[in-house]
Every structure is written in C-alpha cells, then in structure tokens.
C-alpha cells in the first residue's frame, strides 16, 4: 500500500526524515509528500501564508533536494507532490505554478468559502440555517469547479465540511451526485482520507453515502492518511488498509504516476 497524502515541515507537518521512517515502519511501499501551498495574491491569504507557512511555491526546490537525498538513502518510494488550495479566481496562477514546479502529482483542496476556513466552527456558529446551507452550496460549487479545471490528479477530503459541527449533515444527495458526475468525466480522482478517522468523531472522507454514490458512478479512489506527525502514519495506514479490504475497494494511483 502507498500513502499519497502526508505533510512535512515544509508546511504544517513534522520533519521529512521522521515521516519517511514512520512510513517504512508502517510497511508502506510508497509515501507522497503533499505539503500545503496557496498562490492567491489576496491580503488575507498572504497573512495566512505568513502565519502557517503554506508557501511551498517558495520552498519546493529546497524540499525537492531533501527528498532526493532521502531517496538515495531509503528503500521506500518517495513522491514529490503538493496540496494546492483551490479558488476559481486563482486557476491561471495555479496552472502556471504547477507547470513550472513539475511535481510528481498535484492534490487540490477547497478549504475556504468567502474568506472563511470551513474547518473553523466559530466562523459559522452564529449563522442562520439558511446562511450555513449557502456555505455548503458554495463549498460544493468550488469542489466541482476544482474537478472540472483538470488541474489536479487528486481531490482531497471531498466532504471536508463534515469536520465542522455547524455545517455537518447539511450536504445533500444532490450535492454528492453532482460531484460524482464531475469526477466520472474527469481525470481527477478523490481520496479516502483518514485525517479524522481515528478521532472520537470517527470521520472518514467521503462519508458512507457519498462513497456509495461514487461507486455507482465507477469513480476510482486513492489513499491519503493526511498525516502530519510520525505517530499518525502507522495507525491511519492500518485503518485505511482495513477500510479498503472491508469495502472491497482497490486503491488507485494518481493519474500522473501511471
């Protein structure tokens, strides 16, 4: 099994070497570093980049040198990838950057709607039901746009809003079917993401209904533990191995690696 979505100290994860050793200890055949990156020019994004260091566009060459060094010393396959924040306004900038950087593959993700991170519950606790539903609608609009852009190999945690209590449970079957149709017509594939699978809330992305709809549309899925620390890799990898076996799923490879 290979894990195509982990993070390192080049965004909000732990050191590259420790993450690779953890992947080896977990028995993985390959591991892909998909550190966060955002190329939007807007002021609030610039502040976020400064605060969290989501600036792989400035550091990917240095990280690539480190990955090359690890490849020489380790037996596991190590992939040089990226997780790009997606906003439809930034498609041209993303396209230019990805062409310049030449990553092994690119993951796209929607983290923000109307300038608010959809994982931060406090952004939405005071909103009306109607306003929360509008946020969910916009989230799925952006997700479909991400898929239709054909900029990415993988779409990350495609129901990320389920992590956020004020937004949880508001997605509809129609939302899911719209995303599934877009994926069926695209080179982009979604991941089974275990970033919250082993928490008390036991959230797997996508949820059971969403996954079943993806299967109805013959959409392939890949694997992402979304680990940020070495002690997360093994348990999440084991969870996903069991999950794929239980569901009768065969993990796919990001299209750029085929």
Kindly state the DSSP code that residue 220 receives in the 8-state scheme: -
Q: List pLDDT tens digits, range 58-86.
A: 999 999 999 999 999 999 999 999 999 99
Residue among 41, 57, 81, 70 at smallest CA distance from 223:
81
**pLDDT(174) > 90:** yes
Q: How far is Cα 1 from Cα 181, in angstroms, rounded to an integer?
A: 27
CA angle 197, 199, 205 (to 5 degrees): 25
Chain-centroid distance, C-alpha 217: 21
Q: Are the C-beta atoms of 40 and 87 separated by less than 8 Å? A: yes
CATH code assigned at 36: 3.20.20.140
What's the total number of domains in the chain? 1
Distances (CA, A) of 219 to 29, 82, 222: 24, 22, 10
Residue numbers of the domain that contains 62 = 2-257
Q: Are the C-beta atoms of 63 and 8 separated by less than 8 Å? A: yes
Q: How far is Cα 228 from Cα 9, in angstroms, rounded to an integer?
A: 9
49 in helix, strand or coil? Answer: helix
Q: How far is Cα 171 from Cα 207, in angstroms, rounded to an integer?
A: 11
Q: List pLDDT tens digits, range 85-120.
A: 999 999 999 999 999 999 999 999 999 999 999 999
pTM of the entire structure?
Answer: 0.97
**pLDDT(133) > 90:** yes
**pLDDT(246) > 90:** yes
Phi/psi of residue 153, nearest 5 degrees? -80, -35
């Amino acid at each position: 099994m290979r894990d195509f979505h982990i993070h390192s100290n080049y965004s909000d994860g732990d050191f590259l070497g420790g993450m690779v050793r953890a992947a080896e200890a977990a028995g993985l055949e390959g591991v892909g570093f998909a550190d966060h990156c955002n190329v939007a020019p807007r002021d609030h994004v610039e502040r976020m980049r400064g605060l969290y260091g989501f600036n792989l566009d400035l550091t990917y060459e240095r990280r690539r040198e480190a990955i090359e060094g690890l490849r020489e010393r380790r037996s596991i396959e190590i992939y040089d990838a990226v997780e790009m924040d997606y906003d439809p306004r930034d498609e041209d900038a993303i396209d230019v950057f990805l062409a310049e950087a030449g990553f092994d593959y690119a993951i796209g993700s929607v983290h923000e709607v109307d300038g608010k991170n959809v994982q931060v519950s406090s952004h939405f606790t005071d909103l009306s039901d109607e306003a929360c539903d509008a946020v969910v609608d916009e989230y799925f609009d952006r997700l479909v746009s991400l898929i239709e852009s054909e900029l990415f190999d993988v779409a990350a945690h495609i129901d990320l809003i389920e992590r956020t209590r004020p937004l949880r449970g508001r997605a509809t079957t129609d939302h899911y079917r719209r995303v599934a149709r877009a994926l069926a017509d695209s080179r982009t594939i979604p991941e089974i993401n275990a970033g919250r699978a082993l928490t008390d809330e036991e959230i797997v992305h996508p949820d059971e209904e969403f996954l079943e709809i993806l299967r109805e549309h013959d959409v392939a899925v890949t694997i992402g533990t979304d680990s940020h620390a070495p002690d997360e890799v093994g348990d999440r990898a084991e969870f996903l191995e069991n999950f794929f076996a239980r569901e009768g799923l065969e993990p796919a490879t990001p299209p750029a690696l085929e």
